Amino acid sequence: MKKIILTFFVTACISLFSQTGVCFNYHKSCSVKNSKNDKNWIYDTQSRSGLFNQGMSSKIRCVIYKGMDYRINVCCDASLGEKLSYKIFDSKSNELLYDNQTTENAPTFEFQSSTTRQLIIELTVPQVAAQKEKHKPIDAACVGLLIEHKVTEKQGF
């Protein structure tokens, strides 16, 4: 009986870790390198990666702090297309603060925080007709949500 339980436990652990490892740190490939001030952005540990099916949505909660600039960037395997949509809500009031569909699904959004608060980021992968080489529908692909921050630069005198 102990051998059966141990075998089941080891098999479950291997299965869990192999699925998790597929997209591990995928969000780090979402970084934006388009300006000379990119070295000031700091990786935020609230960033996430995951294996998503077409049409799937997921929400994560993150904390943003007063006096900081934030940059959010999403990316995915090319097999899912390039039009990921995401919305940012205030977690207390559920007020919609940003929807990237208003900017033609732009993957990057930068903003300043005037107060410390919790946000909910809802990411949705579109249902696309992308096909693999042998004309089979793509079941799942990696998606990354990269959050970066930096201290807001003082302006004026």
Residue range 67-123, pLDDT digits in tens: 999 999 998 887 777 788 999 999 999 999 999 999 988 999 999 988 999 999 999
Give pLDDT, residue 108.
92
Residues in the chain: 157
Furthest CA-CA distance within the chain:
75
- pLDDT band, very low/low/confident/very high, at 34 (cuts 50, 70, 90): low
Give pLDDT, residue 58.
94
State yes or no: pLDDT of 14 exceeds 70. no
State yes or no: pLDDT of 137 exceeds 80. no
Give pLDDT, residue 53.
85
Q: For the chain, what is the mean pLDDT?
A: 81
Phi, psi for 62 (deg, rounded to 5): -140, 160
Dihedral, 107, 113, 119, 124 alpha carbons, nearest 10: -10
The rounded distance, in Å, linking the Cα atoms of 9 and 13 is 6
Give pLDDT, residue 5.
55
**For domain 25-151, which architecture applies?**
Sandwich (2.60)
In a 10 Å sphere around its CB, with 0-12 CB exposed, 13-18 middle and 19+ buried, how is residue 45 labelled? Answer: exposed
Question: For residue 67, what is the DSSP state?
Answer: T
Q: Are strands 85-90 and 48-53 parallel, antiparallel or unpaired?
A: unpaired
Q: Are 32 and 144 in contact (CB under 8 A)?
A: no
Percent of the chain with pLDDT over 70: 74
Give pLDDT, residue 15.
44
Q: What number is the average pLDDT over the span 21-47?
A: 80
Task: Supply 111's token pair.
Answer: 């903003």
Give the predicted TM-score (pTM) of the model: 0.76
**Residue partners of 72: CB distance under 8 A and separation at least 6:** 86, 88, 108, 109, 110, 121, 145, 146, 147, 148
- Each domain of the chain, given as residue ranges in start order, spans 25-151
**Residue partners of 143: CB distance under 8 A and separation at least 6:** 23, 26, 49, 50, 51, 52, 74, 75, 76, 77, 80, 84, 123, 125
